[in-house]
Structure 1
């Protein structure tokens, strides 16, 4: 997929893909999480979940999430959501499925993106702009990194989000 290509846009939602590795201008934590994951994964599509030590990413914790693919048809559940993610969305996210989020165009897009991470076993970086449940404009970059306990099947996705208003 070509970087900066708009894939989905509606009145209150827009998403573009950005190149990897992350541009340092996007802030040090995106690059920190990318480098950490890349070092742990080696030649595999992703490191195992138990290789991720939150103590190694303390400055990034508010923006970290773990997404778990489940079932057929596949759904994605927040296993863990940092405080920054919850405050931007205006609700607790742990145990919430992506398809339960608003706006609907946001939920459909993120579901499609996470499905692609699982199927292609590759990381992605996207910029998303939307209005939250309270009608407030939000924008963030979302780094989605596959995790694999067996070195083959993607069974979790480590997500780091860099939030900003606008």
Structure 2
């Protein structure tokens, strides 16, 4: 999939920011290369995800307010496999593993079911690898944009329509 198919302006901005950092640095960006004041337009939709090795696990270090509103709960300091995504945890971990395998961005789109209303809401997600040493990926910069839940609603399940690596527009 090419980056031009990303619908969300915030996620396109996040990807452009990461690509500009990578180009300017001549290597994969690290957490310390990110400047929140440069990310203001899309910062509410950003997360930082720590990668733990042996066994491979993903922990949300920081989660923006826009993600909390779309997901309906705070996920900061929570592990993906810690009953956060229920029966979808394995699939979420497969998506989160794409940047580790490709050393590049990954994109997903899908829908989540909402309780108690039964509504189905769309979302888009983007994952970008970060590396302290320029090679080994030790963190993910994530973005998630979705329709907001009402105060009495919660996500009861979700499904990806698809997820895949992202190929830069110029190459795709």
* CA offset digits 1:105-143 (Å, max 9, x no partner): 2x2222111122113212111102122565553321111
SS at match of 2:50: strand
Q: TM-score, normalised by structure 1?
A: 0.78
Correspondence 1:91 to 2:106: no
- Cα distance, 1:29 vs. partner? 1.8
Which structure 1 residue ranges, 4+ long, deviate > 3 Å from structure 2?
A: 132-136
- Preserved contact between residue 22 and residue 30 of structure 1 (Cα < 8 Å): no
Aligned residues: 145
Which deviates the most, 96-105 or 50-59?
A: 96-105
Distance 2:48 2:114 in 1: 20
Residue 150 in structure 1 maps to residue 133 in structure 2: yes
Select 2:19's aligned residue among 38, 54, 57.
Answer: 38
Q: 1:102 aligns with which of 54, 75, 85?
A: 85
Alignment of 1:114 onto 2:96? yes
Alignment gaps of 5+ in structure 1: 1-18
Q: TM-score, normalised by structure 2?
A: 0.75
- Structure 2 unaligned regions, length at least 5: 150-172
